[in-house]
Amino acid sequence: MQKQVVKCLWLMGSGNPSDSAFVDRFQQEARIAAEMTHQNLVRVTHVDRLGELHYLVMEYVEGEDCARRVERTGPMDEETALTVLLGAARGLGYAHQRGIVHRDVKPANLMISAHGEVKVIDLGLARAIDSTRQLGATIGTLGTPLYMAPEQWQSANVDATADVWALGAVLHFLLTGRSPIPEHATDTAT
């Protein structure tokens, strides 16, 4: 039997108008992820709801994310870093060809399996490129500040180039162990 991971969104009460935006976001994530089948993207195997608990079930990736790997062993050598980057770029390219932008590419969202496969995980901020303006306006700017493209700071309406920019920032981290953006710089940008 294959191991799987459950990712949940728990909604507290129904009186808050933002609840529907979060439900819409989660359901969109689930639909998008369930349609994606690529060796470098984590597979979603089941999407469901139990009362106000919305959840999806994803394949379990035995291994560790790139942030933990660099923390544990130090910066990667060039060949390993480029292998990781190529795997991530292939998975993201597949998503981009289908009109999907991830919006939260970062070392912690790139897994290296026990067999050396690279998997892009956490499509939690993924958006259909055509719907970024409407949904982004509802829920605000999303992403991880240290890896966000400059245009993502200004608008939720981003395209695949934001993921490409983030991949460059991830490569810098993999090779140096540091984000190219100093942590204190993100305090003034928001």
Phi, psi of 177 (to 5 degrees): 80, 5
The one-letter amino acid code at 75 reads P
With beta carbons less than 8 A apart as the criterion, state whether 72 and 150 touch.
no
Of the residues 65, 104, 122, 163, only one is catalytic, namely 104
Whether 104 sits among the annotated catalytic residues: the reply is: yes
Longest CA span, the chain: 52
* Long-range contacts of the stretch 73-82 (C-beta < 8 A, 24+): 74/177, 75/174, 75/175, 75/176, 75/177, 76/174, 76/175, 78/175, 80/174, 81/171, 81/174, 81/175, 82/171
- Active site positions, annotated: 104
